[in-house]
Amino acid sequence: MKYTVVRFALAGPAIPGLTDALTIGERMRKALMAKTQTVEGGQTALALFSGRSADGNRLRDDHAHAFFLPADDNNDGQLDHLTVWIPAGIDTPTQKVLGRLRRLWGAGEQDIFTALMGIGNPADYGGLFVSRGLTPQLATSRLWVARTPFLLLRHPKVFRTGKPKVGESGLQIDGPEDQLRKELVKRGFPEPRRVDIISCILVKGKKLYWQDFRTHRADGGGQPAVSGGYGFRLSFDQPVQGPICLGYGCHFGLGQFIADGVIS
């Protein structure tokens, strides 16, 4: 059986909050790339973690390489888990690298310790019962809600007058909802029946707005087309399996959705 998911618990004296999910996604990628040097056949794992081929070019694999998805599963505002999702599958060298990870480091930052919880597939770890080690990142549901901001990959289309260009769907071409819907279909999800815009989420009784999140990568990996982020609530006609992560920075924790009403 091909496994695609590895779950880690995070521990340490100074773990960042949900608004710094991008920071931890980047640190996880860097730590795993460094670990490949100690594993025989590590070049395969390196490509899966880096998203780049041996010559340094970006992989054209339809997002089959690794996603590093930090989570605040108990909704207390502090990151507590991290899911590494590799749609292409976890081969033996990659599994060895993942198994050897013990901590995340960063320049000027305190170490964060990682504990391997298990290797499997999304259905093995998806659910709302976080006390049992499950996560709504990987659940199955008709309803999904943004957890981190969705950032645009392309500029919304406008006429020279500044008036939005509208497509046959009635949406602005390459506007936030148009890009969201196109990405969902491209990733193999069904067209959502309804998309509602939300301006914030409630974490530990406090409203977090999308502008509160860090949204620019520190490693120079490009920039979003538009600096501001967006949030949505999605309704599908049929239950869909997570994870759902879309837009700029989706491999590092941005553009995440979590299940809102799990169907068991």
Q: What is the DSSP string of 43-101?
A: HHHHHHHHSB-TTSPBP-SSS-S-EEEEE-TT-SSB--EEEEE-TT---HHHHHHHHH-
Inside any domain, residue 99: yes
Tell me the per-residue pLDDT of 214-244, one tens digit each, with 9 for 90 and over. 998 877 667 787 888 999 999 999 999 999 9
- Going 39 to 43 to 44 to 49, the CA torsion angle's sign is positive
- Classify residue 168: in a domain, yes or no: yes
Q: Does residue 264 surpass a pLDDT of 60?
A: no
Let me know if residue 264 belongs to a domain.
no
Banded model confidence at residue 71, pLDDT cuts 50, 70, 90: very high
Domain of residue 52, residue span: 5-259
Q: Which of 68-72, 101-105, 148-152, 190-194 has the lowest average pLDDT?
A: 101-105
**In the prediction, which pLDDT does 220 show?**
66
Q: How far apart are CA 89 and CA 204, in angstroms?
A: 35
pTM of the model: 0.92
CB atoms within 10 A of CB 21: 27
Using an 8 Å Cβ cutoff, are 115 and 11 in contact?
yes
Please tell me the predicted confidence (pLDDT) of residue 263: 46
pLDDT per position as a tens digit, 98-119: 999 999 987 777 899 999 999 9
* Residue 242 resides in a domain: yes
150 pLDDT band (50/70/90 cuts)? very high
Which whole-number Å values give the CA distances from 170 to 91, 174, 191, in the listed order?
A: 44, 12, 15
Q: Examine residue 55 and state whether it is found in any structural domain, yes or no.
A: yes
Over residues 200-213, the pLDDT tens digits come to 999 988 999 999 99
Looking at the domain assignment, is residue 106 inside a domain? yes
Please indicate, yes or no, if residue 51 is contained in any of the structural domains: yes
Percentage of the residues of the chain whose pLDDT score is greater than 70:
95
Give 19-35 pLDDT, tens digit per residue.
999 999 999 999 999 98
pLDDT of 262 above 60 = no
Distance between CA atoms of 5 and 86, rounded to whole angstroms?
6
Tokens standing for 152? 């645009």
d(CA 72, CA 87): 22
Q: Is cis: bond before 243, omega within 30 of 0?
A: yes
Give me the pLDDT at residue 44, please.
77
What's the domain count of the chain?
1
